[in-house]
Structure 1
Amino acid sequence: MRNILYCLLFVFSFNGFSQELNCSVVVNAQQTGNANQSIFKTLQNQLTEFVNNTKWTNKAFSSQERIDCSMVITITEYSGEAFQGSIQIQSSRPVFGSSFTTPIYNFNDRDFAFRYLEFQNLVFNPTQFESNLISVLAFHIYMILGLDADTFAKQGGDPYFSQAQTIVNYSQQENFKGWKLEDGLQSRFALIDNLMSPTFSAYREVLYRYHRSGLDVMSENTKKGKEEIASTLRLFEAMNSRRPNSFLQRTFFDAKADEIEQIFTDGPNVNIASVKETLQKVAPMHSSKWSNIKF
């Protein structure tokens, strides 16, 4: 009887708490001209298992709390164990009191080179470089975790961003692009460096208020939620005056532009003229969407 009880407790704990991510991983090798080779399918299967079954934090996540995300790896060329391509990462989170999800992270990492041998072990070490394949995936996973946490609590993403910074620090000792200052203004280095800089502190304040005081309120009081989102977006103005069209601002609106357009073209009326003026100022690259806001 005791053994049966232990088994039931084990099954309950296994099913009740799981890893942090519910991630779809796709490896697209069409551009190589050899997309049907088994190595690409093996890589996709191994990465799916690695991302979803690795324990990335010390927190217990219920199955309902797992973060929905996707990674699309496009291989452009390969030779032997050397692969070159890009990786598109997206994540979302549910909106309180609704059946909707809201996009949080949308990043196209174009500097993705790695070495991979079919069926090799994939193991993440939080303090030591294992491979560029592991480092790039782990970096973006901690970005997903950090940004998601920031939407639920002020500065909630701190421990995850700290780990992402650690990954940058030990990975830049290797000869792969994306980890160093000289790798450009849209690299992994630039992303975490900007995110942790006081210059861009408004970005994280926007993440929290937009979601917790804005979207999560709309199911109970749509107008109040919309007004909070409008007020929150204006926080970008001061940041934009210091660093116009910054990388972080662009990553936010790359993820949110369609959603913002929809929010302000439907439901209770708010001061649309003021909202459009702010949006045209801080995110001019999406001006065609802002021109559609005519409620």
Structure 2
Amino acid sequence: MLNTVKFSFILIALICFSTVNAQEFNAEVVVDAQQTGKNQLTVFKTLEQQLTEFINRNSWSSYQLENHQKINCSFFIIVKSFNNNQFQASLQVQASRPIYGSDKFSPILNFKDNELSFTYKEFQVFNYSPNSFENNLISVISFYLKTILGLDADSFEELSGNSFFEEANQIVNYSQQRGSGWLISGNANSRAALNRDLLSNNFQEFRQAFYEYHRLGLDQFYSDPDLAKAKIVSALNKVQAVNNRRPNSILVRTFFDAKANEILEIFSGGNPENHEAVKNMLQKVAPIHSRSWRQIKS
């Protein structure tokens, strides 16, 4: 079996001998401090620049990737308060992977984290350790990078993201007693809950559906659109089965938060007679996105 993945096509591209890089991400970081009333301070722009370099210049796996294979992601930090180097903020994390045979990208994560608090002094050095807590900001960013790597891997080879999810779990374990936003109790949308479900056997079918949706569905549109759409329907039915067993799970909610617009686009073309069952299923499993589902022609 080919070594876990790809990242943007190690599994499906021809081997080439051009120069490769150790870095895995093409990340954008935005720090919005308007709510603080202090957005003119240079500390916010410095933080933005340092985080961008921290993500893009470090190596987060053992893979050697070319520039076109890097994972696109973005981190939008909304600072709510800032005082004496203490930040209270929220974080929106988004990531995507390319769709084979096209110039399009498919979102694999769109997650809102409302519990981001950290201490940051302008120009402080950022270091990531896989086994020890440095500070809460680095733990949070590193956790999401490992999670993105795991989801990206899962989308190219079935259940191949385990090692990354386990590394993310290490971050959860050593951060729970030192930083905020890591506890499962009382927060069904926590980082720990997301990681727990990704590693749980109860959600293995969801991860299999994630692979089927991307690799057997989206990546086949260029060669056989009808078969690709059938595979996507099959994957969505598996997601529904998971939701029936584990209603309102964080994985299912996160999946549709990332995929609602894409699913609408997929089922906006073709024979609308075949869309009725999909539309009805989507209304049941992800009613929060009903506005999108109502636009599917059936």
* Counterpart-to-counterpart distance in 2, 1:177 and 1:287: 33
- Give the aligned residue type for 1:266: G
Taking the aligned partners of 2:49 and 2:201, their CA distance within structure 1 comes to 40
Q: Which residue of 1 aligns with 2:116?
A: 112
Segment drifting more, 199-208 vs 144-153: 199-208
**Aligned-partner SS, 1:239:** helix
Using a 3 Å threshold, how does the CA distance of structure 1 residues 270 and 220 change in structure 2: closer, same or farther? farther
- Tell me the residue number matched to 1:177: 180
Q: Compute the displacement of 1:181 (Å).
A: 2.3
Q: Partner of 1:16 in structure 2? A: 20
Q: 2:235 aligns with which of 226, 232, 237?
A: 232
Bigger fraction of residues in helix = 1
1:34 partner amino acid: K
Q: Quick check: 1:78 aligned with 2:90?
A: no
Answering whether residue 169 of structure 2 is matched by residue 165 of structure 1, we say yes
Q: Using the TM superposition, give the Cα deviation of residue 241 of structure 1 relative to its aligned residue in structure 2, in angstroms.
A: 1.6
Q: Matched residues in 2 for 1:120 and 1:92: separation?
A: 30
One-letter identity of the residue aligned with 1:280: Q
| RCO comparison, higher one (Cα < 8 Å, 6+) | 2
What is the identity, as a one-letter code, of the residue corresponding to 1:169?
Answer: N
Normalised TM-score (structure 1) = 0.92
Which residue does the alignment assign to 1:294?
297
Matched positions, count: 282
- Whole-Å separation in 2 of the counterparts to 1:110 and 1:239: 26
**Deviations for 1:8-38, whole angstroms, at most 9, x for unmatched residues?**
xxxxx99532400000011110000010101
Which of 140, 155, 161 in structure 2 is aligned with 1:151?
A: 155
Percent identity between matched residues is 46
Give the match's secondary structure for 1:16: coil
- Structure 2 counterpart of 1:220, which letter? S
Residue 142 (structure 2) aligned to one of 138, 143, 147: 138
> In the alignment, is the contact (CA less than 8 A) between 1:24 and 1:71 conserved in 2?
yes
Structure 1 residue runs of 5 or longer lacking an equivalent are 1-12
The Cα shift of 1:202 comes to: 1.9
1:179 counterpart SS class? coil
Q: Tell whether the 8 Å contact from 1:73 to 1:88 is kept in structure 2 after alignment.
A: yes
**Partner SS for 1:220:** coil
Q: CA RMSD in A?
A: 1.5
Q: Which residue of 1 aligns with 2:191?
A: 188
In terms of Rg, which structure is larger? 1
Show the counterpart of 2:253.
Answer: 250
Aligned equivalents of 1:218, 1:239: Cα separation in 2: 25
The code of the aligned residue for 1:84 comes to Q
